[in-house]
Chains A and B, each alone.
Chain A
Amino acid sequence: MSMILGVPAAVLFGQLLLGIINGAFYALLSLGLAVIFGLLKIINFAHGAMYMLGAMVTVIMFDAMGINYWVALVLAPLVVGCFGVLLEYFLLRRITGQDHIYSLLLTFGVALMIQGILTNIFGVSGMRYSMPEIFQGGFKLDFMFLPYYRAWVIFMALLVCFGTWFMIEKTKLGSYLRAGTEDAQLMQGFGINVPLLISLTYGFGVMIAAFAGVLAAPIYSVNPVMGSNILIVVFAVVVIGGMGSIAGAIITGLLMGVIEGFTKVFYPEFSSAVIFLVMVVVLLIRPSGLFGKEA
């Protein structure tokens, strides 16, 4: 078997693949955070909980009503997205104009509630969700084995990332969003319903997180606390990339996943810490982040 840097090539590529998969999830989650931050100027601390809800809803819908993966892929994000819109309408809206710290704390409280309630109902042990038949097996490449589902995750994540980027940068609705980011008051003056736009934006950001949750359901352990640890990593990713651009969030997410994957090969004990260390280094060298615009 061929070796690279003293490591079997299959192991190296295997970890690289896992890294890219993790990176895809980081990218999806930080993308949602960036979309919400753009217009609402808040960090959604409930983002991890929304990701978890996406996965939980998928499993629950299957167990209770036999709703399959393909329907869940659309339905679960919609359900969670509607929940997000309600959350914005009834809670977040009440503190607009206050210090942004408060919205962070509010969403943190919401996350604690969602996570706590679900933990009481379902427990913290993982729930099983079996992969659809069609994804059994995988591509046999020269240097590694690529399971179909992993390929699917990467493909879908990239599709959603690109779709979101396209919508925000190239469409009319996206131009409203970008205008709102610059000056919401002026846009209101032009007769655009800004409060509605804000609700929908929050709902959309949350939908992306829930979508990531559905993608995660067949490969990760689905449980009520699955969102909290990944969220902290995503925060670090966001700090590294800077909130400045959608593309930046995507690239940084993938990159960090790959770095984490490589660390697992060469120094496994260190792998859960490496992204945080990258964050420290980036902050010392370039405080505004790799793609950040603000000082």
Chain B
Amino acid sequence: MDHPVNQTNIQQAMLDQQKSDQRRKHILNLVLLALLLIAPAVIYPVFLMKILCFALFAVAFNLLLGFTGLLSFGHAAFLATGSYTTGYLLSNYSGLTTEMGIIVGTAAATVLGVLFALVAIRRQGIYFAMITLALAQLVYFMFVQAPFTGGEDGMHGVPRGHLFGFIDLENNLAMYYFVLAVFLGGYLLVQRVVGSPFGQVLKAIKQNEPRAVSLGYNVNQYKVLAFVMSAGLAGLAGSVKTVVFQLASLNDAHWHMSGEVILMTLLGGTGTLLGPVVGATFVVNLEYQLSQGPLGDWVDPILGAIFVLTVIAFRSGIVGEIQKFVRKNMG
């Protein structure tokens, strides 16, 4: 008799849960936004911009790993393509406004993303990871050989230029707020995509690909689209990074960079929106702190150890673990 009553109770409880989750999220987001807006008053803006660039890179990567279940081991290629393209354009065409350089850089990475996706999508799981790694290595060799990249030396002295032709980006504060705007744009785009019906299909593919196929979805099309979007955003991160630091180098294209973005995402929490941001903040800070101290040469082994610990002990990452904790203790 009381079965239906129970049912509605449970539904009500779930709705309440969702609402309080939502409210908490909104408050958290507003607080974080406020912090980001006043941060340059306290912290050196260039350092903040570095964090934001890598955070955008990790957010882009997470669209693929966290929400589609595809592990790309070649995302450095997109970062570097955005980086080199923008660097080349801004260095050689002084008439070009900064945002045009960034847009073209992003477009170049997107095109590369299409090429990668069409090849790599043919295999799944760990093969996908190996193929993207190999393709990225191919791109790396191309950048080593290409005349315009400056080879081992990299590309230096890229002018920051003027945004829309009249905002001087040599000013670090102006630069900071521009980077913040780009980051927020990327973040909100991913949030929108993940929440859309398209994003739901991506999650379905992640959880059970054969079932998504049997439901009639053209799974490969969805995967390619997600991949291309992720590649484009990674390229955007690279383009902006080049403008900030005024240099593009082979480091951006190296497999080490692909590994680093995986670590950022994993450590922060795959499949959460905020996770990659937290992870990127953590890793960039850690690398900076280590480089200042006596452990400067030990960055790699320490990153490796964090990798191992994260995989073994807390796969949900920092944000994932906090979410679990909050749900358990705060209803």
Contacts and interface: CB of A to CB of B under 8 A. Distances in A.
A233 B130 CA distance: 10
Contact of A43 (B130, B137, B266, B303): B130
A52 to B, nearest CB: 14
A94 B119 contact: no
Which has the most chain A C-beta neighbours within 10 Å: B126, B303, B306? B126
Question: What range describes how many residues of B lie at the interface?
Answer: 35 or more
Interface in B38-75: 71
Which has the most chain B C-beta neighbours within 10 Å: A112, A115, A117? A112
Contact of B127 (A108, A113, A239, A276): A239
B138 interface: yes
A276 B311 contact: no
A272 B137 CA distance: 10
Which has the most chain A C-beta neighbours within 10 Å: B145, B299, B304? B304
Contacts of A117: 301
A61 interface: no
Given A116-B298, A238-B130, A108 B307 contact: yes
A259 to B, nearest CB: 15
Given A105-B266, A276-B138, A287-B122, A113 B133 contact: no
A280 interface: yes
B125 A100 contact: yes
A222 interface: no
Interface string A94-117: 110010111011101111111111
Interface residues of A, number: 41
B123 interface: yes
Main secondary structure of the interface of B (DSSP, over half): helix
A227 B299 CA distance: 19
Given A105-B266, A109-B305, A113-B305, A279 B315 contact: no
A43 B255 contact: no
Interface in B100-154: 119-120, 122-123, 125-127, 129-131, 133-135, 137-138, 141-142, 145
A283 B130 contact: no
A279 B311 contact: no
Contact of A280 (B119, B125, B297, B308): B119
B250 to A, nearest CB: 13
Nearest to B126: A43
Contacts of A100: 125-126
10 contacts: A42-B126, A43-B130, A95-B312, A104-B126, A112-B259, A113-B300, A116-B304, A119-B300, A120-B297, A239-B134
Interface of B: 71, 119-120, 122-123, 125-127, 129-131, 133-135, 137-138, 141-142, 145, 255, 259, 262, 266, 297-308, 311-312, 315
Interface of A: 42-43, 91, 94-95, 98, 100-102, 104-106, 108-117, 119-120, 228, 232-233, 235-236, 238-239, 269, 272-273, 276-277, 279-280, 283-284, 287
